[in-house]
Amino acid sequence: MNQLEAKVLHYRTSGQIILCELESFGAQVTAVILDSPGELEYLKEGNALNILFKETEVIIATGEIGQLSLNNRFRAKITAMEKGDIFTSLAIDFGTGMTSVITTKSAERLGLAVGTEVTALVKANEIAIGRRD
């Protein structure tokens, strides 16, 4: 599980849906949370918290991406790779580390190697938030 430090920039609600705008190591991050803001007392502008998302939810892109509805984009560099028969694990750094697990077929098709510049993408509904202890 990827766990990154973040700061709440602002949020807005609609019923039980919270759209939360955050900043993590210079990257803007959007998270969609299904909960009541009253239940999340640590969800206040300026507060530090953790964002969490699975390694399998990190999409890897190379080159120019173009227009996408996906907001969470982390410009990063591959720092380590562990290639398996089916899956490849990528350690990437954008000021802090995160991990992506993609198919080995995709890693080979993209020509990924240690040192490759990539963009890591994560859908807003795949990001959970948690209190930083």
Could you give the CA distance from residue 116 to residue 133 in angstroms, rounded to a whole number?
Answer: 34
CATH code, domain with 107: 2.40.50.100
**pLDDT surpasses 80 at 41:** no
Domain of residue 127, residue span: 2-131
Number of domains in the chain: 1
Spatial CA neighbour of 51 closest among 75, 80, 74: 74
CA distance linking residue 115 with residue 132, whole number of Å: 31
Give the phi and the psi of residue 73 in degrees, each rounded to 5: -130, 125
The DSSP output letter for 66 is -
- Please give the structure tokens belonging to residue 96: 């802090």
pLDDT one-digit tens code per residue, 67-91: 989 999 999 999 999 999 999 999 9
Is the confidence at residue 31, as pLDDT, over 80?
A: yes
Confidence (pLDDT) at 37:
64
pTM over 0.85: yes
Quickly list DSSP for 9-35. EEEEEETTEEEEEEEETTEEEEEEEES
